[in-house]
A and B are shown apart, each in its own frame.
Chain A
Amino acid sequence: MGKIRNWVAGTAAAGVLSFAGGQAQAVEIEYWQYFFQARVTAMDTLIENFEKANPDITVKMTHFPYADYRTKVAAAIPAGEGPDVVQLFYGWLNDYVEAKLIQPLPADTFVPAEIEKEFFPMVQAMKRDGEYMALPTAVRSLALFYNERLFKDAGIENPPATLDELVETAKKLTQKDAAGNLTTVGITTGMTAQDHHWFREVLVRQFGGEPYNDDYQTVNYTDEAGQSALAFYDGLRSEHGVTLAGFMDEPQAAFKAGRAGMHIDGSFRIGALNKTRGLKYGVAELPAGPTGVKSNYSSYWVNAITSKATDEKHAAAVKFMQYVTSDEAMQIWLDTVGELPAKPSAALTEANSADPVFGPFIKGLEYANTTKFANESAQRQVMVDMLSRVELENQSVEDSLKAAAAEEQKILDEYYK
């Protein structure tokens, strides 16, 4: 008995000593992101790997519901609490920089020239005064989802490669009941989902335009190119009758239910579609424009070091940032979350490019553009209203486009004033 008691006391003392020793050197940094199960799981894996490689650093992850995220970050950092490394949407960067919530990534570790060489070009939107403020682990792009069963029934072999083919394919897929009501749409539409990106960054460019000037501070889609783009988009409904905005309430619902032949959506939709029983779908690159121009839209969440991190915490945060922007981390993120690697070296591996689902999205990244939004939801609403005026109030495409441009310019002016 005595022996055992001594042994227990000895071990306990040793444990306390080693614990105290560990405490003295260990740095704990905090990481914040919003709650989305796959993202949390992926980050858990990344943290585990990082801690294994850096035993003296522990990373504590905290996550919040999306709705509270911004308020919590804003309240915590100025108070000297909260995260050392924080995740934010690329469109929020200006606000975070202006509020001094984040600090630039040290240029000796994150050399701007190297970042520009290693990452996909749209990441350059994260540069302020020659320094990078934040970097993504993963990016998202758009692609054309198609329902393989409906394609087979309609005798269509390949997904459309051009916009003309898109219209012809959609016509073959569209089904109506005896009264002429749509029961299956050829392609889903609705500016409320991803189509406002498709219009801005893809269709306008494909018809020969440039949607914005002056680094996204001036609206530039009212020219002929913009009009042709909107006429094409609205024509899917008004001229060809292959779609209806709000069909089955939401585009992705119609596609999931097998009531839509084609559907343009982001890579983040893959997970939900894979869970849909009985749905066999394929993925293709977005159709090319009349002159063969290819374009895509990319958005992403970035990680940044907050102004709260100083001294050894800053050093640890830099190490952590290096790890979460490494090829290894990007592959883990792709496998867990389904978001695409932000570097060609990680994205364009043979296995990834050949992947029937991820491949088309990854190819899209090479020619993707990123809109710098001042207020994404307000700017999306402008597009929604633009189409509603044409559809519900019979306004001409030209007038509606001009009205939309004026409204959007007002939002931009207010933000950049």
Chain B
Amino acid sequence: MSLIVRDLSKKYGEKTVVDHISFQMNGPGVYALLGTNGAGKTTTIRMMLDMLEKDSGEVLWNDKPLSFTTCNIGYLAEERGLYPKYPIIDQLRYFAKLRGVSDEVTEQRIRYWAERLNVEEYIFPGKAATAEGTANAEGAAPASNQAFGFHTGGSAVRVISTPRTAKTPVKKEKPRTPDQLSKGNQQKIQFMIAMISDPELLILDEPFSGLDPVNSDILRSVIHEQIDAGKTIIMSSHQMPAVEEFCTDITILHRSRAVVSGNLNEIKKSYGRINLSLKTEEDISAYARQAGVTILNEKEHEYDIRVTGQDQALDLLKLLVDNRICVVRFDLREPSLHEIFVKEVGADNEDQV
């Protein structure tokens, strides 16, 4: 597969909201669109999905214009919503029908994802809980997925939730509606809607916002499964650790323009190894000044130091060794995505990250 986003632009009146954005994916993986609020991430996604008219540019999927007819797309919108008063199960079936999924497969997928995301009790209220839920509670995919042919991969993430241990018959209840669900559970239902067609291209706009740590971990494990299954994912997020965990390529948008774009490792390499984490047994402030490095943080002889590069770090190490300073830890690393982001979009936007 290949996804090419070329020269996308959008103006509202005189205001440019997306300014000639381009990026490309040549194979499965996760691409991140990063940026502060109002940087143009959601507008870019909406143009990619043809929800908004483009002022210029094109989006190609396997050399054809990207659309729901040329590609099986799953989309989790930033502004999430469900019909508040309609039964959840009806809404899932509705979206499946709109995406052309057969009734039989729809039922299988709903059951799979309900179990996988721990929302069975809301979708099938009153149905007996099964022992399979126990496996799910530990973060693994439900056993039923084998039967339905879903791709699941191993995940390092373990999810802690209330285990189910036995079949407990429960009285049949009225179908649940979204207004009876918490925001996080509504979000999981919306994620189910995005996944109902088993998409090859998954577009997740701020997938982790509003989720508690437990549910974030569930979603993480699901995304890992999708990556392992060879899916193409485009993700917009403010959560840098999550992006670093999944993404191979990124574009950082700032004031409607791409300020950084490319492979995450390459980008990091281009910034060089400038973060030095150092632990010694005595104060080294004088040696740091002598070596010309900047101490960012210090706590009981543990230092976070900014260096200009590997040479400067090694000069400092040599100086310490020559002066018989005991170095307990010397860790020289590339900048984190968070640091790159802050550097590129400016410290004034840091609070929005």
Is chain B found bound to chain A in the same assembly?
A: no
Binding site for A on B (CB under 8 A): none
